[in-house]
Amino acid sequence: MKIIVIKLIFLVLFVSCKQEENKLEIHPTTKTDKIDSLLLSLNKQNAFNGNVLIAEGDSITLLKSYGYADLDTKVKLNENSIFRLASITKQFTAIAILLLHKQGHLSIYDKAFKYIPEISSYKDVSILNLITHTSGLPDYAKLAEKHWDAKNAVTNKDVLNLIQQHKTESSFEPNTRWEYSNTGYIILAEIVRNVSNQNFQSM
């Protein structure tokens, strides 16, 4: 069952659509009818909950909500429901950096501290290291566990301050290993903000 759900994630796009005066035309196909039937079945088994949009070319073949936005209050999902995307946002952060590189505002080979002075203790870390998870930077979540009040949400700026204050030793030298890094992408997001003078919300 889990394998089916994982495969489906690659077939569907979770979106938050704005309601328009004229509803989008949906052109179901035999294929999307089968997917819809499967998702309904999975939803009944509490194995799938979400919004699905499938398009083939210019034609939308499935646009539907399954399950609840709030399980406790039984508020149903709809096309305006908001989802926490978590690490799905990393690809957009990387693309923003590559666009700034292409436009000549920065180079992915630059050292990251050039744009984020709070990480000047990690002088050998390049922007490319951050993109490719080869920086060796410490995990900010572990820092927050030790030095942050869990009652308060931690912002990107808070993460940078924690890194600057505590100067935790790197996990490894840059470019010598690969290790998934949320810290790296927080720094990339701040580089985008500093270089473009825009927050992600306004881009």
**Does the active-site annotation cover 87?**
yes
Spell out the SS3 assignment of the chain: CHHHHHHHHHHCECCCCCCCCCCCCECCCHHHHHHHHHHHHHHHCCCCCEEEEEEECCEEEEEEEECEEECCCCEECCCCCCCCCHHHHHHHHHHHHHHHHHCCCCCCCCEHHHCCHHHCCCCCCEHHHHHCCCCCCCCHHHHHHHHCCCCCCCCHHHHHHHHHHHCCCCCCCCCCCCCCCHHHHHHHHHHHHHHHCCCHHHC
Of 87, 126, 181, 202, the catalytic one is 87
The residues carrying an active-site annotation are 87
